[in-house]
Structure formats: C-alpha cells, structure tokens
Amino acid sequence: MLIEVDHLTKRFGKGSSQFIAVDDVSFEVRPGEIVGLLGPNGAGKTTTIHMILGLISPTAGEVRIFGKPFDAHRQEILEQMNFTSPYVAFPVRLTVFENLMVFARMYDLREPRVKIAGLAKLFGIEAMLRKPVSRLSSGETTRVGLCKAFMNDPKLLLLDEPTAYLDPQIAAQVKQILLDMQRERGTTILYTSHNMAEVEKMCSRIIFLSRGRVLASGTPIEVTQTILNEDRDEPALEEVFLHVAQRQANEAA
C-alpha cells in the first residue's frame, strides 16, 4: 500500500468546546491509484490531508506512507510526495520564477531552470515567470501551485481542490495532465474536489467522509449504491453529495 491511514482521529479543543474533525478514519491507497476524498464542508477532508502531510498531529491513529510510519520518516517521505491547494499562497513580491527556484533548490534539482521551463510550458505559465505573484489571477496562482507540486516528480500527490479557481478549459487541461502523469509515471493521487463530475472522471476509487467519519468507500458506482441504498447502473456522485450534505445539515440542526 502507498498510503495507510489507520484509525486516524483529530479532536480540537477541550471539554465542552471539544470538536471532532476526524473520527477514527481508516483507508488505504494503492500505488498508481487516483482516489477521491469527498464530503461536504466540515467533513474532515482537509484535516485528513494535513495530517497525512504532518502539518497537524493526530490525536490518535497512525499514517504510513510508502510502508513507513510518517513521524519516523518525515523527510524521506516528503522528498517523494507533494501537495498543492488553491487556498495556500506564495510570497507575493517574489516573481513566479523565484518562487519556483526556491522549491527547486528545496528538492535539490540538478537543472532547476530546465525543470521550471518544462513545467511552465506544461501548465501554460511561461509568460508569467517574470511577473511577481501579486500580479497573478487566482487561476494563474493555482497553476503556479501545480508547477510547484510537480517539481520533485512526486510518487504521491495530494491535491486539495486543484481545479477550484480554474476556468473550464484550463481545468480540463489540468485534469488531462494529471491523468497522463498517473498513466505514464504511475503517480498516485489523493484528490479532494467539490466537482462531482470531475471526480467521476478522474478517480478510480472514492472515500466519502461526513462529519469526520468514512461514510462509504469504493468505486464511484459502489459509493453511489451504498449511500443512496439502491441499485444504480451509473455513478451519481452529485446526488450522493446533496443527499449527504442534506443529512449532515439535518443532524446538525
């Protein structure tokens, strides 16, 4: 297994103000899979990804990546994986090229300029390399983040809503690049998105979270059948999402 998440739990706060963001979540991701981590807002997707990255420490449970416990092998593991999210940013006064050079040095690339030029061409940001990040649109910054995420040719990519700010044409290109990477290099991708059509196209398996718990996991059709509790011939993740969001809202009320 490439990722093993074992009884992962995260509680914030103490006493009566305690909040359980992730509640005893377990799942596995096999090498070369694209797995969707789905759920309504507050389901625990981003907290789970942050725990996999070591940015938040779990209250209980363990994360193993490449067969090794994350805590004991953090640097070795992070050298082979990467992450991007449109909700994190880059230093705005630095140019796109300077930002990418910092990450190229971070991963000790031998020919950073060649790598950056290649990635800039792939994601269509060649014309922006000399611009400060402050002058980019949200969609352009998202593409810079994707360039950063591919800087070390990762075996494992964690993508938090990678197409959130992209226009449909660029989003389609990005999805194709991700599928190509998975097919040609066997890159494993753990993917969160609120775009259910995109998830159905991209992901071979889904882990559906609600209120910090795994509600269902399997192929898109299996998740559809489990959560809607009826036989279906086609996946209907949009319907599943609305069903779960409504149920979550009712429970909260």
Partner 1 sequence: MSRKGKRMKRHRIEATIMRHTYEARRNLDRILDMVYWPVLDIIVWGFFTIYLGRGAAMKPGMISFMLGAIILWGLFFAFQRDMAVGFLDELWSRNLVNLFSTPLSVSEYMTGLIAVNVLKAAVGMSAAALIAWGCYAFDIFPRLPAFLPFMLNLMLFALALGIIITGLIFRYTTKIQGLAWSFAGLLMPLSCVLYPLKSLPTLLRPVAWMLPTTHSFEGMRQVLAGGGFSQSHFAWGLALNVMYFVFAILFFRWIFEAARSRGLLVKVE
Binding site for partner 1 (CB under 8 A): 10, 12, 21, 47, 50, 53-57, 59, 70-76, 78-79, 82-83, 85, 88-94, 98, 101-103, 105-108, 132, 148
**Which DSSP letter does residue 111 get?**
S
Closer residue to partner 1 (CB): 84 or 224: 84
- How far, in Å, CA of 61 to CA of 45, rounded? 16
Q: How far is the CB of 93 from partner 1 (least distance, A)?
A: 4
**3-state class (DSSP) for residue 166:** coil
Q: How far is the CB of 145 from partner 1 (least distance, A)?
A: 8
Contacts of residue 243, defined as CB under 8 A and 6 or more positions apart, other chains included, come to 227, 228
Closer residue to partner 1 (CB): 88 or 249: 88
Determine contact, residues 112/103, Cβ cutoff 8 Å: no
Closer residue to partner 1 (CB): 74 or 243: 74
Closer residue to partner 1 (CB): 90 or 123: 90
CA 187 to chain centre: 13
- How far, in Å, CA of 10 to CA of 15, rounded? 14
Closer residue to partner 1 (CB): 53 or 196: 53
**Which DSSP letter does residue 132 get?**
B
Q: How far is the CB of 222 from partner 1 (least distance, A)?
A: 31
Q: How far is the CB of 219 from partner 1 (least distance, A)?
A: 29
Q: How far is the CB of 162 from partner 1 (least distance, A)?
A: 14
Identity at 160, one-letter amino acid code: D
Other Cβ atoms closer than 10 A to 163: 25
